[in-house]
Structure 1
Amino acid sequence: MQIKDQIVLITGAGRGLGADVARSFAREGAKVVLNYRNSEESAQRLAAESGPEQAIALRADVTNTQEVQDMVAAAAEYFSAPITTVINNALPDFSFNGDGRSKAHAIEYGEFTAQFSGVVGGALNTIQAALPGMALAGWGSIINIGTNLFQNPVVPYHDYTAAKAALLALTRTFAADLGPSNIRVNMVSGGLLRTTDASAATPEEVFELIAGGTPLRKVTTPAEFADAALFFASPWSRAVTGQNLVVDGGLVMN
């Protein structure tokens, strides 16, 4: 199905990367469901950019199963059609500042469980809430947002990286499970982006170091990363599932 004919749910779309993903899909004509937890003002403003016929901002904590189910039902009622594309972008509170993160000798398991709950639990809730609508539509596309730290763990984001690695495993097992139902599951993984709310604490010298290590000699922007997500939602990827596309200027090459 063409992107302009899709209803796309983006979690964590009120700010940062999620907002850029929402803008990319809206630009291509998709009807967009902007999920937010705390960023109501910015999410509503972003929805207003596209207009009420194309976008709606809905609050839900993705870790709350009932709130997610209510959000998906409200979106389907608003657009008179089910959600066909889910982009799991929502992230528990996290600051990308290696100097301020817990190192191996001090990190506690509670930090891991917080990330697992938001990253894996949140994705599970949104996927399961959207599956009945995808079955009704006869197809679906699920796009999970990952990280290149699986392959290049240059900073000690132990809890964040472990949760995203688990999300990659879920991407592949769900792709195998849901493929017979014509539902594809893929991942888009980035590195440090210049600049999101989460990466605002990153020292400038880190950005410069990363840029120097890429073939393109630049740090990927949120808008560039967001555009790559369009591929997995488009008909051009109709035979692609269970894959992880790294979008980081070539810093990590699979």
Structure 2
Amino acid sequence: MSPTNGNNRRLNPPRSYASKVADILRDEIQRGVFRPGERLPTEVVLGETFGVSRAVIREAIFALKQDGIVESYQGRGIFVAQSLPEATFRLARAELNDSDEIDRVFEFLLAHEAAAAALAAERRNEADLSRIRMALEAIDHAIERGENGIEQDMAFHSEILAATKNHLFVSFGAFLENRVRHLIREARANSSRKGLTQYVQEEHRAIYAAIADGDKEAARNAAETHLANAAARLRVYSAVTPVPAR
């Protein structure tokens, strides 16, 4: 069966071309446009359809193979897998020049981190507080050494997730970290260039203070402020001046 909309699916920046092609083909396979066992169009045809190079098509097909959605056979082509895997959660790596996708990523992060901070405030014990405080101090030390503190920043948020006493928050947090580390790194770089590092640490301290006080709502609000400002530091939101830490 031919892809939907024929040749009207040419791609535009800024997202990765290969990611876009893979997403479109994945969606069409899931909707039955291409059925299990059916051969996909050749690389040449797909390249012409999407207006991209064969190298981009190969990268997209490789991603689909990694997900178990298609299978390749030497000399025969690429086929939709006979048994499709169950749908799994996916989060593509957002490109720094894709403001809409970064906006969506930070909205998602905000919900996750805010809920975790609230639970941590409710469930933390003294050992948790000690680890969170040590992680916070490690960021200060990294800044004093002239480093960006990205690893220490990640550790701070990881300790908060651990304090939720919910392994799903911890596991999903690790999943998210692998896909947004480059965004956090750029946000911290922007903070350093603009002299906003102290604001970032004030936000972290506000989160810690609320968790230490056992104040769920204050912890949630502080985490929301931090993520909203992180997005602003990537110029996702229109805010120019960081919101004061609560």
TM-score range, shorter chain: under 0.3
Q: TM-score, normalised by structure 2?
A: 0.24
More helix by share: 2
Q: TM-score, normalised by structure 1?
A: 0.23
Larger Rg: 2
